[in-house]
Structure 1
Amino acid sequence: MTTPPGTVEVRELVLPAHANHHGTLFAGEGLQLMAKTAFLAARSLAHREVVMAGVTGVQCLAPVPVGYQLTLQGWVSRVGRSSMTVCVRGLADRPEVPAEHVLTGVFEMVAVDSAGRPVAIDSSYLNPETSHEHHNP
């Protein structure tokens, strides 16, 4: 099964190197992982390099202890001429513990050329579901 363009799932094990002094995921590490997920989702849809233009609505909803798996789901929810909105959600779990929604954020990404200038996204790459706003469950 292939993943539709504009959607990605990234998994990371929370290790002590990712943790704060409370033994849970350091917020900065979580934000970095969310940004990477947004980048991968946007690049998969645009079929070219992208850069981050902004971040809104980032929330750390619950602590993620060392030893938990963090699954980050990213999807493009809006496509403009050269920009995209990417929603990212993080779920934390470990064996015998149900997944819990722990992170959320919205990232604005822009398709760029080799000089870093905004460039139009080729509409032939767009899936009808990603050519307008939508939300994955």
Structure 2
Amino acid sequence: MTNQNTALELTEIVFPEHANHYGTLFGGNALMLMSKAAFLAARAFAACDVVMAGCSDAQFLAPVPVGSVLRLRAWISRVGRTSLTVCVTGTAEQLGQSPRTALKSLFEMVAVDKNGRPARIPGAYLHKEKEAA
């Protein structure tokens, strides 16, 4: 790979408008924030536009109360010809408490050209035998 951007960290704060009726981060908003981190990591790594093809194994491990600082860490775990797998974990921290892992998910991202069609990831490693096939 020519691009060494394989991980990033995104920091957010949970405001009341992000919460459910229990005063904790709403699951849909958690997925949105994790997908944002996955998108930014994939785009930085691929050095081109990307779109989400899928999300799997989303885990909500602990509630994230309003006022928590949420640190989302995203890293590339697999690179294909046109797609990448991005792992995302979210660690929540409240004032005076230790951080705890609260969220996890996997995202499949696809590199796309200006027409939105799958495009080869620049610098993606392929074996010569596979390339010839």
> Would you say same fold, with TM above 0.5?
yes
For 1:24, the aligned partner's letter is T
In the aligned structure 2, how far is the partner of 1:55 from the partner of 1:94? Answer: 27
The answer to whether structure 1 residue 36 and structure 2 residue 36 are counterparts is: yes
Q: Tell me the C-alpha RMSD between the 2 structures.
A: 1.1
Alignment partner, residue 56 of structure 1: 56
Letter in 2 for 1:59: Q
Give distance in 1, aligned partners of 2:69 and 2:95. 9
Distance across 2 between alignment mates of 1:55 and 1:65: 24
Structure 1 Cα separation of the partners of residues 110 and 98 of structure 2 = 35
In structure 2, how many angstroms separate the alpha carbons of the residues matched to 1:12 and 1:75?
17
**2:14 maps to which residue?**
14
Q: 1:54, 1:42 → 2: CA distance?
A: 13
Cα deviation, residue 7, structure 1: 1.1
Instruction: Give TM-score, length-normalised by structure 1.
Output: 0.86
The alpha carbon displacement at 1:106 in A equals 0.2
Q: Which residue of 2 aligns with 1:129?
A: none
User: 5+ residue gaps in structure 1?
Assistant: 127-137
User: Which of these two proteins has the greater Rg computed from alpha carbons?
Assistant: 2
CA deviation string 1:95-134 (max 9, x = no partner): 221110000000000000000000101117x7xxxxxxxx
TM-score (norm 2): 0.89
Q: Deviations over 1:40-62 (max 9, x none)?
A: 00000000000000111001011
**4+ residue runs over 6 A deviation:** none
CA contact (8 A) 1:8 1:41 kept: yes
Distance in 2 (alpha carbons) for counterparts of 1:121 and 1:81: 6
Contact persistence 1:91–1:102 (CA under 8 A) = yes
Deviations 1:11-61 (A, max 9, x none): 110000000000000000000000000000000000000000011100101
Shift of 1:94: 2.1
Matches of 1:65 and 1:21, distance apart in 2: 11
Aligned to 1:105: 105
Instruction: State the distance in 1 between where 2:30 and 2:120 align.
Output: 30
Percent sequence identity is 52
Q: Which residue of 1 aligns with 2:128?
A: none
